[in-house]
C-alpha cells in the first residue's frame, strides 16, 4: 500500500503552530527562503495577508503569491502581559498591525525596538526570523 505523503510544512510557522496542514503550505516554504508572502486574486485583484487560497471577495480560487516587501505604516499596537498557552515564555511582547496600502499585516514588534519608541504612523518592515527551537516567524523591525 502506498503511503500518503502529507505536506505538513505549516507546522514550522510560529512559536506554537496550530495547523500543520493547510492549503497555504507554500507560505512556510517562502519563509525558509526569507520571504513573507501574501496572496492576490487574479480575478478581482484583492490581496490577502495572511494568505488565503480562495478569494473572499469574488470566491475565485485563482490566486497568486506576492511578496510583502518595503515598509508598512504602524496602524496600532499593544503590549501583551498575558498570552495564549505556549507563548508565556515570550512575555511581555508587542503585537501590531502594519498598513501596506492594499493589505494589512498582523504580527509582533521586534524586541529591538523599545515600546516607548513606538508611534502610530511610523514605518516598519517585516522580517523573517528563525526562533531558537527552529520554528519560523516574522517580526516588525526598523527599515
Ligand atoms: Zn477575487
Those residues whose C-beta lies under 8 Å from the C-beta of residue 5, and which sit 6 or more positions away, are none
Distance in angstroms (rounded) separating the CA atoms of residues 23 and 139: 23
DSSP string, 24-63: TTHHHHHHHTT--EEEEETTT--EESS--SS-TTT----E
State pLDDT tens for residues 48-79. 898 888 898 999 888 899 999 999 999 999 99
State pLDDT tens for residues 72-113. 999 999 998 888 788 788 888 899 999 999 899 999 999 999
CA of 99 to the centre of ligand 1 (A): 20
CA of 9 to the centre of ligand 1 (A): 26
Length of the chain: 143
| Chain-centroid distance, C-alpha 110 | 13
CA of 47 to the centre of ligand 1 (A): 8
CA of 122 to the centre of ligand 1 (A): 30
SS3 9: helix
Amino acid at each position: 500500500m502506498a503511503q500518503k505523503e502529507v505536506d505538513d510544512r505549516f507546522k514550522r510557522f510560529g512559536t506554537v503552530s496550530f495547523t500543520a496542514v493547510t492549503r497555504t503550505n507554500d507560505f512556510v516554504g517562502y519563509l525558509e527562503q526569507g520571504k513573507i508572502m501574501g496572496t492576490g486574486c487574479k480575478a478581482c485583484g484583492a490581496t490577502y495577508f495572511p494568505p488565503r487560497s480562495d478569494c473572499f471577495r469574488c470566491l475565485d480560487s485563482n490566486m497568486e503569491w506576492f511578496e510583502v516587501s518595503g515598509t508598512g505604516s504602524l496602524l496600532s499596537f499593544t503590549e501583551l502581559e498575558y498570552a495564549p498557552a505556549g507563548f508565556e515564555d515570550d512575555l511581555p511582547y508587542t503585537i501590531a498591525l502594519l498598513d501596506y496600502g492594499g493589505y494589512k499585516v498582523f504580527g509582533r514588534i521586534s524586541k529591538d525596538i523599545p515600546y516607548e519608541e513606538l508611534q502610530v504612523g511610523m514605518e516598519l518592515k517585516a522580517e523573517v526570523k528563525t526562533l531558537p527551537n527552529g520554528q519560523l516567524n516574522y517580526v516588525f523591525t526598523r527599515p
